[in-house]
Structure 1
Amino acid sequence: MAHSLRDQLLKAGLVTEAQLEKANQPKPAPSRQPQQHNQTSRRDNRPARTVEKPQRTENKAPRPTPKEKSDLAQFYAARAKTEREEREQAEQRQREIAARRKQTREQVAALITANLQNVDDADIRYNFVVGDNIKYLYVTEAQQQALADGNLAITFLGGKRCLIPLDIAQQILALDPDKLIVINSPDAEDPLTPTHLPQGERG
């Protein structure tokens, strides 16, 4: 019956002998393992590739050794000690200068107080110059002449105008050259011009 169908198809021209022979050939059995699996197997057999990450190179200073740390600590300690000693010495010098100034002021004040020549009821006004200012104090007639002759001097103590002998004025200037003391020069053209006129007025 199969041959009858074959003959009928051939006679009808629906198929050819070659097509019938090809149709009768057995089909190959399909592969049990999928192609993808084979590719995976081949990849699995390859050695694993290791990817190394590049290491970062940072410019870090080497850490100091314990000995270097000790030397550095000693250096800073020595410098701190030196600075502290210099500061203490400077403060000590300032204290000494202040103490000497105080002692000098006390000695000057003692000399002025012990040798003060002011007279409370003096009625002659005596003018003298301090810088650009004309000042005055009241003196007796004898004191006026002594001032004109340069035998008396004028100074200040606590804001008060004080008459003192010339030799006491010279002692005060030896102690404190900046102390304001007015001494009249008999040979000066202007009788109001003192021979000693320091910068500024201090009591």
Structure 2
Amino acid sequence: MAHSLRDQLLKAGLVTEAQVEKANQPKPTTPRQPQAKSKPPRRENRPPPAAPRPESRENKAPRPAPKEKSDLAQFYEARAKTEREERQQAEQRQREIAARRKQTREQVAALINDNLKNVDDADIRYNFVIGDNIKYLYVTEAQQQELADGKLAVTFLGGKRCLIPADTAQQILALDPDKLIVINAPEDDALTPSPEPVCTTDS
């Protein structure tokens, strides 16, 4: 059947004898070359990148200098400091004055209590003047004479009218010149350092 097809092609003039013979020769088989496997990209033996070195102090940029305070801010700060110091000094002085007053009151009260000459059953009324007011207390006959002679004086302690010796009265006035004391003197009927009774908290 193959020959008949060849003959028909030859008769028809579609092919030549040479082409038929060439077609009948076996084709040489070329050995198939193995396909090369794709290799991974070759890594170059490069050293790892070095870590960035910390900047030395010499290489660091200098820090900006702190901004100086303006003259006005410095003025207000200095004034506030001065006022604060003055206020503290004034408070300290007030504390010292209060402490001295307390100490003086305690000394005056001790002098009066230690030298008190009041007699509970005295029956002679003795009048004395403080400012525009007339005060009185009861004394003995001997005390009345001593008051007239200026040997006794009258003062106050805790609202109570107290008889004390004249020398004790002078000690009290030396401690507290504002303490109210009534004492007769040869040149004057009464010595009253203050026109009105001035009593401390305990007098």
Normalised by the length of structure 1, the TM-score is: 0.61
Quick check: 156-165 or 99-108, which moved more? 99-108
1:34-56 C-alpha deviation (Å, 9 max, x unpaired):
xxxxxxxxxxxxxxxxxxxxxxx
Structure holding more helix per residue: 1
In the alignment, residue 108 of structure 2 is paired with which amino acid?
Answer: V
Quick check: 66-75 or 125-134, which moved more? 66-75
SS at match of 2:185: coil
Aligned to 1:202: 198
Aligned to 2:47: none
In the alignment, residue 198 of structure 2 is paired with which amino acid?
Answer: R
In the alignment, residue 156 of structure 1 is paired with which amino acid?
Answer: F
Aligned to 1:123: 123
Tell me how far apart the structure 1 counterparts of residues 190 and 98 of structure 2 sit (CA, whole Å): 30
Normalised by the length of structure 2, the TM-score is: 0.61
- RMSD across aligned C-alpha pairs, in angstroms? 1.8
Alpha-carbon offset, residue 70 of structure 1: 4.6
Whether the 8 Å CA contact 1:131–1:197 is kept in 2: the answer is no
Tell me how far apart the structure 2 counterparts of residues 90 and 199 of structure 1 sit (CA, whole Å): 30
Tell me how far apart the structure 2 counterparts of residues 76 and 195 of structure 1 sit (CA, whole Å): 54
Aligned to 1:161: 161
Aligned to 1:111: 111
The question of 1:88 aligning with 2:83 is answered no
SS at match of 1:104: helix
Alpha-carbon offset, residue 202 of structure 1: 2.2
Aligned length: 134
In the alignment, residue 149 of structure 1 is paired with which amino acid?
Answer: D
Rate the CA distance shift 1:138–1:77 in 2: closer, same or farther, 3 A: same
Uncovered stretches (5+) of structure 1, i.e. residues with no partner: 1-65
Within 5 Å, which residues of 2 pair with 1:122-201?
Answer: 122-186=122-186, 188=188, 193-201=189-197
SS at match of 2:69: helix
1:107-164 C-alpha deviation (Å, 9 max, x unpaired):
1111001100000010110011111111100001110010010000000011100000
In the alignment, residue 162 of structure 1 is paired with which amino acid?
Answer: C
Tell me how far apart the structure 2 counterparts of residues 167 and 138 of structure 1 sit (CA, whole Å): 21
Alpha-carbon offset, residue 82 of structure 1: 1.0
Alpha-carbon offset, residue 185 of structure 1: 2.4
Rate the CA distance shift 1:73–1:145 in 2: closer, same or farther, 3 A: same
Tell me how far apart the structure 2 counterparts of residues 127 and 199 of structure 1 sit (CA, whole Å): 16
Whether the 8 Å CA contact 1:148–1:186 is kept in 2: the answer is no
Tell me how far apart the structure 1 counterparts of residues 198 and 110 of structure 2 sit (CA, whole Å): 16
Tell me how far apart the structure 2 counterparts of residues 118 and 186 of structure 1 sit (CA, whole Å): 23
In the alignment, residue 139 of structure 1 is paired with which amino acid?
Answer: V
